[in-house]
């Protein structure tokens, strides 16, 4: 681990299982012409990652409160699988119309159960969704840079699983003990212990992620302590644009 950073303090089940689509942000982006592309200043790209129930969304929300541009991979996933999108059509073709709700959006609970029990189904879903998310993420980052953002924080739940480290200048891992994460998931998502444990089980363990992150936020205490740690991390580490070095 390059720069250990720890604190006390607080995945979403899967990237596509969220309800609200942030299309307005995408539509607001002004794409660069040739001159803008030449003069655009590349922002410091900070990835925030962590397993289910780790608290990475809380960390990203704090960065947003600090005035930093935040891009959520979960929001991009909602956009990628919106009804009539390419990914949405591919998912229905693969899984069948039984995965749809009456309004044609995806039945996240049903898909969650499918991919937890069936590794092949999970891989198929990832192959459909993640290329679309990556394309949208690049567009959002470019849009933010065109707007003059010096730092862009991107929440990427499956960063290490998808080997996306080289796309970012800094990587922040949010971590917490397994039992605490299980309890958080049970309370937050109103699911059983078995379902919570299965969600965690299908993800890469934190022990394999820690050595690949630049900073680690241990989130096992109060929310206030976690927020203070985010503030300190920002002040000490993100007020410059020196790029991340490969291991």
Task: Return the CATH number at 107.
Answer: 3.40.50.300
The confidence band for 10, taking pLDDT boundaries of 50, 70 and 90, is very low
pTM of the model: 0.76
Position 108 in a domain: yes
Look over the chain and give the mean of its residue pLDDT values, rounded to a whole number: 82
Q: Residue 244: inside a domain, yes or no?
A: no
What does the pLDDT read at residue 243? 52
In a domain, 116, yes or no: yes
Contact, 157 vs 53, CB < 8 A?
no
In 3-state terms the chain splits into helix, strand, coil percentages (rounded to 5) of 50, 10, 40
Helices and strands (DSSP H and E) totals, the chain? 11, 5
The rounded Cα 83 to chain-centroid distance in angstroms is 21
Tally of structural domains, the chain: 1
**Residue 4 resides in a domain:** no
Say if residues 32 and 126 touch (Cβ distance below 8 Å). no
Each residue's pLDDT tens digit, 72-93: 877 888 899 999 999 999 999 9
Query: Domain range holding 143?
Result: 23-237
């Amino acid at each position: 681990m390059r720069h250990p950073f720890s604190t006390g303090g607080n995945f979403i089940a899967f990237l596509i299982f969220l309800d609200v689509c942030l299309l307005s942000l995408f539509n607001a982006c002004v794409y660069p012409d040739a001159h803008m592309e030449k003069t655009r200043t590349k922002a410091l790209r900070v990835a925030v990652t962590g397993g289910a129930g780790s608290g990475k969304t809380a960390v990203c929300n704090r960065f947003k409160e600090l005035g930093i541009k935040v891009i959520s991979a979960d929001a991009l996933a909602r956009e990628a699988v919106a009804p009539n999108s390419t990914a949405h059509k591919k998912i229905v073709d693969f899984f069948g119309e039984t995965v749809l709700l009456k309004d044609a959006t995806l039945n996240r609970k049903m898909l969650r159960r499918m991919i937890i029990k069936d590794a092949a189904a999970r891989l198929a879903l990832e192959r459909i969704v993640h290329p679309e998310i990556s394309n949208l993420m690049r567009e959002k980052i470019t849009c933010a840079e065109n707007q003059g953002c010096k730092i862009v924080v991107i929440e990427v739940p499956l960063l290490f699983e998808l080997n996306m480290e080289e796309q970012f200048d800094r990587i922040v891992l949010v971590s917490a003990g397994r039992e605490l994460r299980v309890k958080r998931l049970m309370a937050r998502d109103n699911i059983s212990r078995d379902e919570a444990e299965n969600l965690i089980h299908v993800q890469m363990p934190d022990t394999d992620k820690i050595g690949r992150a630049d900073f680690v936020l241990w989130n096992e205490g109060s929310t206030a302590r976690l927020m203070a740690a985010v503030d300190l991390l920002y002040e000490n580490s993100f007020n410059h644009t020196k790029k991340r070095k490969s291991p």
